[in-house]
Amino acid sequence: MPVSIAKAADIAELVQLVNSAYRGEGSKKGWTTEADLLVGGIRVNEDRMAAMLHNPANTILKYTNDQNQIIGCVLLAEKTGYVYLGMLTVSPELQGAGIGKELLKAADEFAKGIGKHNIRMTVITARTELINWYKRHGYQDTGERLPFPYEPGFGEPSQQLEFAVLERKWPQ
């Protein structure tokens, strides 16, 4: 199976992948881009990726191709009562090939493996096509909204942004 746990040696490749899928003109090759919502900046830097990777509550799963290149990833953070899913990323050129679905399945297996019965995530509310994709994969909009955390250097919002909290549950 091409899904495994990312290591420190993967940081630079993960940063390049995530930024390529969310920011800049190249990200517009895929349908998950945030380039029109957050102008300029990057999605993540190496320091933040390293901090995520080295946090004992976090696991980053990577999806690799036959050449062992990382073409997808997802952050899974253990929280009290649930797993937080973030940074689900697929290379823009490969979106629509089922890699995201495989990463969601791996996230479910991870959560069940540590005794959690639900996964939560936040998605920018303006990204209705992405929210609808998650709904087709068993996630529901909880109705909860959270403010978008603007930080200099990570993209200038082109409009007022907020997060929708989505959740997927399964029987205990």
- Quickly list H helices, the chain: 11-22, 46-54, 99-113, 128-136
CATH class of the structural domain 3-121:
alpha beta
Q: What is the pLDDT of residues 7-49, one digit of tens each?
A: 999 999 999 999 999 988 888 888 888 888 988 889 999 999 9
- Cα–Cα nearest to 140, from 123, 161, 165: 165
- For CA atoms 123, 125, 126, 127, give the dihedral sign: positive
Q: Name the token pair of 137.
A: 């994969």
In terms of pTM, does the model score above 0.75? yes
Condensed to tens digits (0 to 9), the pLDDT of residues 129-149 reads 999 999 999 999 999 999 999
State the Cα–Cα distance between residues 135 and 155, nearest whole angstrom: 27
- The domains of the chain are located at 3-121
Which residue bears the tokens 């969310």?
A: 22
CB atoms within 10 A of CB 143: 7
Residue 130's region, left for phi above 0, alpha for psi from -120 to 50, else beta, is alpha
Q: What's the pLDDT tens digit per position in 38-91?
A: 888 899 999 999 999 999 999 999 999 999 999 999 999 999 999 999 999 999
| Mean pLDDT in residue range 106-115 | 96
Of 99, 139, 136, give the one whose Cα is nearest residue 123. Answer: 139
For 33, 39, 41, 108, the CA distances from 22, given in Å and listed in that order, are: 4, 10, 10, 23
Q: What is the pLDDT of residue 88?
A: 97
